[in-house]
Structure 1
Amino acid sequence: MFLDNLSTSVLRLCDARKLSYEAASERCNLSSRYFADIARGRAVPTILTLEKLCVGFKLTPNDLLIPADVWRDIAFREPMPVTQVRCFRYHHGLTGFPVCPRCGATMERDYQIYCDRCGQRLDWNNFSKAAILLPQE
């Protein structure tokens, strides 16, 4: 999978920037033969080679190795503030549970790092100011 992602990324970069293997390899300070092997998924590059690719294409390692659609899918790892508490009637009053800002699920515990339903990373900094959602009659 790693080689497939890297190969696809290198091929897309060359195509988008209208670069031949020779021009791209020169930009990345690699031999054209080795660069072509990487682009075809036939060579396993070292960390130093990955660094050369990143410098040559002016990209971060994440931008080079992770396809854009996957990168969008993992953006939920950026913390979102928990701003709501959903209340339920309990034996002798009300009890409240935090609400995930991404999926809207009621979470069982306060101050957990990720939502146990959707995986959203949570920010609890302003939880004391969270809106209270009262139960409907």
Structure 2
Amino acid sequence: MTTVTSIWSPLRQPAFRGLWICGAIFFIGAGMQTMAAAWLMVELTGSSFLAALVQTAVFLPMFLLALPAGVLADTTDRRRLISGALIAQVAACTLLALLVLGGWGGPGSVLFLVFVCGCCTAVLT
């Protein structure tokens, strides 16, 4: 007798379902932040090159930090690591928002803080 399992069966587990939903919300928000940063860069400079550099600032940390982040995830308390990365990312995003709303955010600060957010995402994945 064979049992048929659904692709949705892992979502019956409350812990996995919560983790999956929170991860989905996080990555949707991160995508929105990346798009908004690229749009802001175009508004600030009018340069399509700098807008593309925003994408590089987001994804380059994932390339550079994949192995070190994996080692860090295996050798430290994951709950503290995730909490620390999320707190750092919220701080970077808040600082970026305050700088832009205050009129002090330039292309350099946008790229740097987006890079910091990319580093936090690299540690999370």
Larger radius of gyration: 1
Q: Please tell me the TM-score bracket, short chain as reference.
A: under 0.3
Q: Which has the higher helix share?
A: 2
Higher relative contact order (CA 8 A, sep 6+): 2
TM-score (norm 1): 0.19
Instruction: Judging by fraction of residues, say which structure has more strand.
Output: 1
TM-score (normalizing by structure 2): 0.21
